[in-house]
Chains A and B, each alone.
Chain A
Amino acid sequence: SSELTQDPAVSVALGQTVRITCQGDSLRSYYASWYQQKPGQAPVLVIYGKNNRPSGIPDRFSGSSSGNTASLTITGAQAEDEADYYCNSRDSSGVGVFGGGTKLTVL
């Protein structure tokens, strides 16, 4: 299967740590990439590869992977981190696939 499964919604208290997960068979062959999307804006890459952050992404964002599960961790969540988060990978034939997205609420 080329599907990626994410929890629809997650909440975290301000300043606490939250982990957003993504499951799928394609993650055994490809590292997930993670995107943050705020209302009315285009998605922004926050994590790619083994655990790489593009320039300008705070170091409170980190990524990890084990088997068919990838995780995005925000250590010390801030109010501005409230957004939708999407994981992405590719299946064995090179077809791209996105997870359904996780809505993160910072309380």
Chain B
Amino acid sequence: QVQLQQWGAGLLKPSETLSLTCAVYGGSFSGYYWSWIRQPPGKGLEWIGEINHSGSTNYNPSLKSRVTISVDTSKNQFSLKLSSVTAADTAVYYCARGRIKPYCSGGSCRGAFWFDPWGQGTLVTVSS
């Protein structure tokens, strides 16, 4: 059974760079979308971005200028960096494995995408 374990600094000052790493245990690294998702205190989930095993990335347009997601396939790890953080970036950050599958019927196709499993979450607080 695949498990994700994440770690990184939990307290940052404004303008610093957030850095988190997620290790993948017990499963293949290829064929998935390794993702980061965050949740501000008391609020909903926000998709940050993803990377596949070959290093192709896709980011939330609202964060794109500050986000870098990278992968180290030799260690089965992927990482998140978010630069120039402010208090608005205070959140629980989750890593997750994303998977996509097409469903085709009668000549038309529809996609399905889901996140499973998730890491345990890391609370990152930005405060001066």
A86 CA / B111 CA spacing, docked (Å): 18
Question: A15 on the interface (CB 8 Å rule)?
Answer: no
Chain B, interface SS category: strand
Contact count band on A: 20 to 34
| B52 to A: closest C-beta gap in Å | 11
Contact with B along A16-35 (1 / 0, CB 8 A): 00000000000001110101
Given contacts A43-B94, A99-B44, are A88 and B121 in contact (CB under 8 A)? Answer: no
Given contacts A86-B45, A96-B35, are A45 and B111 in contact (CB under 8 A)? Answer: no
Task: Report yes or no: A29 in contact with B113, Cβ–Cβ below 8 A.
Answer: no
CB-CB contacts below 8 Å: A78-107 with B: 86, 88-90, 94-101
Question: B101 on the interface (CB 8 Å rule)?
Answer: yes
Task: Report yes or no: B103 in contact with A31, Cβ–Cβ below 8 A.
Answer: yes
Residues on A with beta carbons closer than 8 Å to the beta carbon of B94: 42-43
Question: A49 on the interface (CB 8 Å rule)?
Answer: yes
Contact with A along B32-43 (1 / 0, CB 8 A): 000101000000
A63 CA / B61 CA spacing, docked (Å): 29
Task: Report yes or no: A95 in contact with B111, Cβ–Cβ below 8 A.
Answer: no
Task: Report yes or no: B35 in contact with A90, Cβ–Cβ below 8 A.
Answer: no
Given contacts A31-B103, A43-B94, A94-B58, are A89 and B47 in contact (CB under 8 A)? Answer: no
Name which residue of chain B comes closest to A93, CB basis: B58
In the complex, how many residue pairs between chain A and chain B have their CB atoms under 8 Å apart? 72
Question: B76 on the interface (CB 8 Å rule)?
Answer: no
Residue from B44, B111, B114 with most neighbouring chain A CB atoms (10 Å): B114
Residues on B with beta carbons closer than 8 Å to the beta carbon of A35: 45, 115
| B96 to A: closest C-beta gap in Å | 8
Question: B118 on the interface (CB 8 Å rule)?
Answer: yes
Task: Report yes or no: B114 in contact with A101, Cβ–Cβ below 8 A.
Answer: no
Task: Report yes or no: A101 in contact with B45, Cβ–Cβ below 8 A.
Answer: yes
Question: A76 on the interface (CB 8 Å rule)?
Answer: no
Q: Which A residues lie at the B interface, using CB under 8 A?
A: 29-31, 33, 35, 42-45, 48-50, 54, 86, 88-90, 94-101
Going nearest first, the 4 A-B pairs with the smallest beta carbon separation are A96-B47, A48-B114, A33-B114, A45-B116
